[in-house]
Amino acid sequence: MPRQDWGRTMSAKSDALETAVTDYIQARTALEAAPDARARLLADRAFARLAALAAPRIRYFTRSYGLSDVAEDAAQVCAIALHRAAERYDPARARFTTYVNWQFRAELQALRLRLHGDQRCAGRREVAAIFSLDALQEEGDDEWLVDPAAEEETERAAADNLAALLADRLVEEWADRRRTRLGTSRGDGARQEARIAVEAKLVRHHLMVSGTAERLRESDRHIVRRALADIVHHAPVRKRH
């Protein structure tokens, strides 16, 4: 099969799986709202369709993990993984294909470990994690996932981002005022815009520089000094109560 056709086929299968899990989630939600026989039947049918679409994927992973000799056991653990994935799936975080693949890999890896020890399949290039995140959390062994520096780094990145946004806004407003002043005495619009763009880049850079200011040519220092003075002059001032 040509690579392009293969890609379209895989995409179509992923889309079908996404539609099926969406239908199951809707049927399950309806069952929870009104738990009658009809709603249960619709939910069961939706899950059966989801399982049928996932079956080729399960068979593929079963062969990849060298578990064809225990295909029935592999199918059972994958059915559990599929049900868990459908129950906990969040479309905002990932495609269902990606999420359920992780669940299948984790369960099959754990099954192979129980049956065969820590042997690797012949010719296999990829080694999946032995335990799923859910299993680690249930056992209380997920503390190693916590990064002590993550909060500080996240706050620092957020502060840097806010500073950059503020600098962009201040320079943009300064450039508008600069454009207005130059427009009364300059006729060449293109040259004027090029000049303002260069000056704005210079001013923004120095707004974001921390520590000792860089050495500038006299003309550039004059531009930055006047621009910063103008920005400070027009910056909104909060009144203290």
Q: What is the pLDDT of residue 73?
A: 92
Q: What is the pLDDT of residue 203?
A: 86
Q: What is the pLDDT of residue 199?
A: 87
Model confidence over 131-161: pLDDT tens digits? 555 555 555 554 544 555 556 666 777 777 7
Q: What is the pLDDT of residue 46?
A: 92
Q: What is the pLDDT of residue 62?
A: 92
Is there a contact between 20 and 46 (Cβ–Cβ < 8 Å)? yes
Q: What is the pLDDT of residue 224?
A: 85
17 CB-near residues (< 8 Å, 6+ apart): 50, 53, 54, 96, 97, 100
Tally of CB atoms within 10 A around 109: 20
Q: Per the confidence metrics, is the pTM higher than 0.85? A: no
Q: What is the pLDDT of residue 191?
A: 80
Residue type, 8: R
Number of Cα atoms under 13 Å in the Cβ half of residue 215: 0
Token look-up 């984790």 returns 106
- At 128, phi and psi to the nearest 5? -85, 160
Tens digits of pLDDT across the chain (241 residues): 444 443 455 567 788 888 999 999 999 999 999 889 999 999 999 999 999 999 999 999 999 888 999 999 999 999 999 999 998 888 877 788 888 888 898 888 888 888 876 554 444 434 444 455 555 555 555 454 455 555 666 677 777 778 888 888 888 888 888 888 876 555 567 788 888 888 888 888 887 765 445 567 788 888 888 888 888 888 765 544 4
B/e letters for 175-185, b = 16+ CB within 10 Å, e = fewer, are: beebbeebeee
User: In the chain, what are the domain boundaries?
Assistant: 3-145, 150-234
